[in-house]
Amino acid sequence: MRVGYVQFGPAFGDKERNLARVGEFLGREQADLWVLPELFSTGYQFASREELAELAEPVPKGPTTQRLAALARELGCHIVAGLAERAGKALFNSAVLVGPRGFVTVYRKIHLFYRERELFTAGNVPFTPVEVAGAKVGLLVCYDHFFPEAARSLALAGAEVLAHPANLVMPGLGQMTMRVRALENRVFAVTANRVGEENRTGEPLRFTGLSQIVSPKGEVLVSSGEQGEEARVVEIEPSLARNKRINALNDLFSDRRPEFYQALTRP
Ligand code: ACM
């Protein structure tokens, strides 16, 4: 399976331009599964809830999901893309997954970061992997990386590849945690981070790039710089993620002792 990411700097509010930019990258190289950054079509720093509501779209009927599905059909690939979702009055920071046969699923970001808490509703559907081109894929969005329970839930449910659209702003942190998430769960992890800056509220944000694809041993297979737009693709063997053994006597999943992890389920 060929997995890839697009690292780029979305222009705030310019969905046409951002979709076209992504189309350029995806057309240049073949991959079975592409991952795009968080909020790739709109940009990140909304000045108000009203502005966000105007730019957010229903899923799957909204134009951005439909355009991504058309791209997936044309290229014969799957695409995971972060976008702003409107569902009735609620606004979610979501990641859609589309494929050659159309819309597959949507994940609504569960752990909201900083001012996202003033704008979005947190997702409330359990982490659930889906089958993509013979591999089980789990979706995380950005700040979810900080919660080992998120990746663990997906891995315990069978995820072999974590697809992680991101708008990381703390240099190197999410890259480090995702290597650990991959290592401790023995899964592949694809982080598509954005680059560039936004200052639409008087609080400047600098996005940190360093997108990466990591192996179940925590090795960085490919990565990008802190700046610059590019797409990277690598061939992986998802079935390697089914083997949780670290030596002849230890298996990271069957060695777990959940009966002693009681604080995890305490309110
Ligand atoms: C983030 O969750 N966008 C840092």
Pocket lined around ligand 1, Cβ cut-off 6 Å: 38, 113, 142-143, 167-169
Quote the percentage of the chain above a pLDDT of 70.
99
Tell me whether residue 207 is in a domain: yes
Q: In one letter, which amino acid is 68?
A: L
Tell me whether residue 114 is in a domain: yes
**Cis ω for the linkage preceding 60 (within 30 of 0):** yes
Judged against a pLDDT cut of 70, whether residue 266 lies above it is answered with no
Tell how far the Cα of 167 is from the centroid of ligand 1, in angstroms: 5
109 is catalytic: yes
Judged against a pLDDT cut of 70, whether residue 267 lies above it is answered with no
Judged against a pLDDT cut of 90, whether residue 164 lies above it is answered with yes
Residue 68: the pLDDT is: 98
Q: Tens digit of pLDDT for each residue in 66-125?
A: 999 999 999 999 999 999 999 999 999 999 999 999 999 999 999 999 999 999 999 999
Tell me whether residue 134 is in a domain: yes
Q: Tens digit of pLDDT for each residue in 30-55?
A: 999 999 999 999 999 999 999 999 99
CATH code where residue 44 lies: 3.60.110.10
Number of domain units in the chain: 1
Tell me whether residue 266 is in a domain: no
Tell me whether residue 265 is in a domain: no
Residue 263: the pLDDT is: 76
Tell me whether residue 267 is in a domain: no
Angle at 192 between CA 135 and CA 156, to 5 degrees: 40
Mean pLDDT, rounded, of the chain: 97
Annotated catalytic residue: which of 77, 85, 109, 116? Answer: 109
Judged against a pLDDT cut of 80, whether residue 264 lies above it is answered with no
Residues spanned by the domain of 185: 2-260
pLDDT class of 234 with cuts at 50, 70, 90: very high
